[in-house]
Amino acid sequence: MMDNKKVPVGRFAPSPTGRMHLGNVYAAIMSYQSVKARGGRWILRIEDLDSQRSRLEYARQLEDDLLWLGLQWDEGGLDNIGPNGPYCQSQRSEIYAEHLAKIKAKGLTYPCSCSRADILATQAPHQSDGRVIYGGTCRPPKMPTIVPEPEGRYSTRLWVPDSEISFIDRNFGKQTFNLAHDCGDFILQRSDGQWAYQLAVVVDDALMGVTEVVRGADLLLSTAQQIYLYNLLGYQIPEFAHIPLKTNSAGQRLAKRDSAMSMAELRARYSPAEVIALALGHV
Ligand code: GLU
């Protein structure tokens, strides 16, 4: 019998903000196949932190689309199958709060009351690619520092060190980022209380026992941010396999609003096997 600890655990973690497109389908298939080929388990986690854009009906549709494709999860989903739930991020606030408290106790976070306009006005120079790097207006002069929590609304920002984080991606090879230069101090909880993806994804992947993360290549830099958080929280870092992003006929990265490649259109035109072949680039 296989040692239980060795069974690979993968996950698909979609945001229910619209119908899946071919790129999402590709990520789902790749993460599913990777663990299933080795007798592993596949988790479906609903990443619905963005309460403005997430909808229960999209999550239901997502489940229906996955089942139509033949991708049945072993754990998770709206029915919270399995021991590590709840599997919707909107229901995991207390868990994130406990983890944020641990990081705060290390003196590595600070309250930030900058508006988006302030941040744009004071961002570090040289960001020609559209990434906004926090200029450090609210950062205490010396870190670590336990900063008293002020009155009023503020977000909680994590201080990042000026040092390199490297990891080996299964598809893209060795990746190295310097968080201070590549992303800057980043938010863990927004001023309206919304948890940041970076914190939630690390806490969830760690507590759900995920051993490998297969997802789109747009999250390579996020992986460095997440590795920093894994280390701060003392959790084991999973393996990472980022996959190339799908593009539309104009060469732009697919978005949920691109109806041509959405599951609604794909299901109307093709069989599940044909959609899978399309997603894998076999046709
Ligand atoms: N929820 C993210 C998305 O739908 C995926 C995050 C991840 O796989 O880590 O883009």
pLDDT computed for residue 65 by the predictor: 98
Ligand 1 centre from 197 Cα, in Å?
A: 8
Helix segments in the chain, DSSP class H: 22-36, 56-69, 93-105, 116-122, 179-182, 197-207, 220-233, 263-269, 272-279
Residue type, 168: I
- Collapsing DSSP states into helix, strand and coil, what is residue 49? coil
pLDDT computed for residue 1 by the predictor: 52
Nearest CA to ligand 1 atom 7: 13
Q: How far apart are CA 62 and CA 213, in angstroms?
A: 19
Q: Which atom of ligand 1 is nearest to the CA of 215?
A: 8
Here the contacts of 51-59 (C-beta below 8 Å, separation 24 or greater) are 51/90, 51/194, 53/15, 53/17, 54/15, 54/16, 54/17, 54/90, 55/16, 55/17, 56/16, 58/16, 58/17, 58/18, 58/19, 59/16, 59/88
Residue among 18, 39, 37, 43 nearest 215 (CA) = 43
Residue among 150, 161, 180, 156 nearest 104 (CA) = 156
Report the b/e string of 138-169 with b at 16+ CB within 10 A.
bbeeebeeebeeeeeebbbbbbbeeeebebeb
Q: Which atom of ligand 1 is nearest to the CA of 15?
A: 4
Ligand 1 centre from 14 Cα, in Å?
A: 5
Q: How far apart are CA 62 and CA 50, in angstroms?
A: 16
Nearest CA to ligand 1 atom 6: 13
Residuewise pLDDT in 10s, the chain (283 residues): 555 568 999 999 999 999 999 999 999 999 999 999 999 999 999 999 999 999 999 999 999 999 999 999 999 999 999 999 999 999 999 999 999 999 999 999 999 999 888 888 887 665 566 788 999 999 999 999 999 989 999 999 999 999 999 999 999 999 999 999 999 999 999 999 999 999 999 999 999 999 999 999 999 999 999 999 999 999 999 999 999 998 888 888 888 877 778 999 999 999 999 999 999 988 7
Nearest CA to ligand 1 atom 2: 14
Query: Which residues, including other chains, have CB under 8 Å from residue 222's CB and lie 6 or more apart?
Result: 197, 198, 201
Query: Among 47, 210, 222, which residue has the most ligand 1 atoms within 8 Å of its CB, making it the best to mutate?
Result: 47
Query: Among 42, 197, 208, which residue has the most ligand 1 atoms within 8 Å of its CB, making it the best to mutate?
Result: 197
pLDDT computed for residue 120 by the predictor: 83
Q: Which atom of ligand 1 is nearest to the CA of 47?
A: 1
- Contact between 28 and 71 under an 8 Å Cβ cutoff? The reply is yes
Ligand 1 centre from 123 Cα, in Å?
A: 26
Residue 282: count other Cβ atoms within 10 Å of its Cβ: 8
What does 176-241 look like in DSSP terms, one character per residue? Answer: EEEHHHHT-SEEEE-TTSPBPHHHHHHHHHHHTT--EEEEEGGGHHHHHHHHHHHHHHTPPP-EEE
Residue among 190, 213, 175 nearest 9 (CA) = 213
**Ligand 1: residues whose CB is within 6 Å?**
13-15, 47, 201, 215, 219
pLDDT computed for residue 207 by the predictor: 98
